[in-house]
Amino acid sequence: MSIIKRTGQALVSTAWYAAHPKRALGAAVRKAVTLSLDNPNGWDVMTGGPTYTGKVVNEETILQVIAAWSAIRLISETIGTLPLHLYREMETGREKAKDHKLYRLLHTQPNQYMTSVEWREAMAVGLCVWGQSYNYAPRLGDRVTGIIPVAKPQVRYELKDSGELIYYLTRNGKEEPLTREQIVPIKGFGGPGSLEGYPPYKYGRNAVAISAAAEEYAARFFGNGARPSGFLMIDKVLDPEQRKQLRVAFEMIHSGLENSHKLAILEAGMKYQQVTANNTDAQLNETQKRQVAEIARLYRVPLDMLMEGGNATYNNSEQYNKHFLEFTLRPYLVRIEQALNTTLLTRQEQEKGYFIEFDVRGLLRGDSKARAEYYKNMRFIGAMSINEVRQAENLPRREGADDLHVPLNMAPSDQLREILGDSSDGKN
């Protein structure tokens, strides 16, 4: 059943919009709607309803496309396994604020229902599927007592003429008004005009629909076996019983692996015509490969990470992970960090130097040889102490291992005479 929309005074089904895209654009023009990234109002005329393939794409069906499932899972599970810490700025650098009540919620267990990994993963899934993530954060005074992820359809917002922003969370059939600090909104990629990000499944719906249609076609092709492997042709007309007997007799002799390559003997002028795959079937694999690339573009995931690259080289895993971190994960991580910093921390705590940040060093760890060379160089130029190297390798600190050393020949030139002594008298 088509969903009914009202355009002016006429009631039009969304199926009509899908079948008449040019006339749908005209409908938007008649409504005096400017379609642009700066003004998303009116894009529902072009994106509502089924796709050109007839496949419906929404927050559930996109997860049934294996390439999209893989991309969303890759991003979400990676973010979920990155440690999230509460830090405190110090004169000597930063330190983990383990004495703060919020630290355990962020790092270990945000609520009684899930671990921190599951919570971070849920936030990332919300951003990948809906383009928006929400977290209910009840408080006792200024203290956050829990962080519970909620689905985007449970939340709506209202921006009043006075500038006041109110969020409404639906629970147990009732709407509860909340502030931004209580609902912790995290906006995905999106333009002005909305406080929520663009749902990827909505704006990439045709690419997703083609993938779903190709998978369904392949499943039906192999599952139903609707295409016959060949035809028996005869000049005379057979009654239904004769057709049945002829089919059964021929299949008993020539169908099955054990009967392959047997010589067929045809009687009464019968001819056998084999059916070969047409161009559509022959291009099915190419279509599926192309759609995997389309999904990779939609989520900006390296194609090799969706197991479709074919030319992947893993000679430098550190550079590979760095590319994935910078161009795929970083936008998600920064959005989450800034949202948590401005909602879970009070203004006073922010001014005191508290901040929330992901630890991405695990993604940048190369092989043992590369790490050893890196630490050696950092130690050589005096950028790291032995204890800092040990801390990076999750080793315990050692007493007296905090000194920074530099090569003697790298001392300032005006201090070399004092260090080496005056050699001008020829005694040194």
Q: Which amino acid is at 203?
A: Y
Residue closest to 17 by CA, chosen among 57, 64, 52, 56 = 52
Q: List the helix and strand counts (H, then E) for the chain.
A: 19, 15
Structure confidence by residue, pLDDT tens digits, 246-263:
777 766 665 555 555 555
Q: What is the pLDDT at residue 314? A: 54
**pLDDT digits 0-9 by tens, 25-62:** 343 333 333 444 444 444 443 444 468 888 889 999 99
pLDDT tens per residue, range 166-208? 999 998 889 999 999 999 999 999 988 889 999 999 999 999 9
Contact 356, 345 (CB under 8 A): yes
Tokens 């009967």 appear where? Answer: 259
Return the percentage of the chain with pLDDT > 70, whole number: 70
Q: Which of 129, 110, 123, 114 is nearest to 77 (CA)?
A: 123
Q: Which of 394, 275, 274, 356 is nearest to 107 (CA)?
A: 356
Q: Where are the domains of the chain?
A: 4-50, 52-226+289-365, 228-274, 367-428
Helix H or strand E segment including 186:
strand 186-187
CA distances in angstroms from 329 to 9, 59, 71, 313, 326, listed in the order given:
46, 21, 12, 21, 6
pLDDT per residue as tens digits for the range 350-392:
999 999 999 988 787 766 777 888 888 898 888 888 888 887 7
Question: Residue 114: which pLDDT band, with cuts at 50, 70 and 90?
Answer: very high
Residue 190, CB half-sphere, CA atoms under 13 Å: how many?
A: 23
Average pLDDT over residues 89-96: 84
The pLDDT, as a whole number, for residue 98 is 94
The candidate with the shortest Cα–Cα distance to 171, out of 141, 203, 134, 145, is: 134
Under 8 Å between Cβ of 95 and 104: no
Tokens 């039009």 locate to 12
* Distance in angstroms (rounded) separating the CA atoms of residues 36 and 427: 82
**In sequence order, what are the residues at sequence separation of 6 or more whose Cβ sits closer than 8 angstroms to the Cβ of residue 71?**
128, 295, 296, 298, 299, 301, 306
What is d(CA 228, CA 273) in angstroms, rounded to the nearest whole number?
Answer: 11
Distances (CA, A) of 291 to 199, 202, 287: 19, 16, 6
Lowest mean pLDDT among 20-29, 141-150, 279-288: 20-29
249-267: burial string, b at 16+ Cβ within 10 Å, e else: ebeeebeeeeeeeeeeeee
pLDDT at 281 exceeding the cut of 90? no
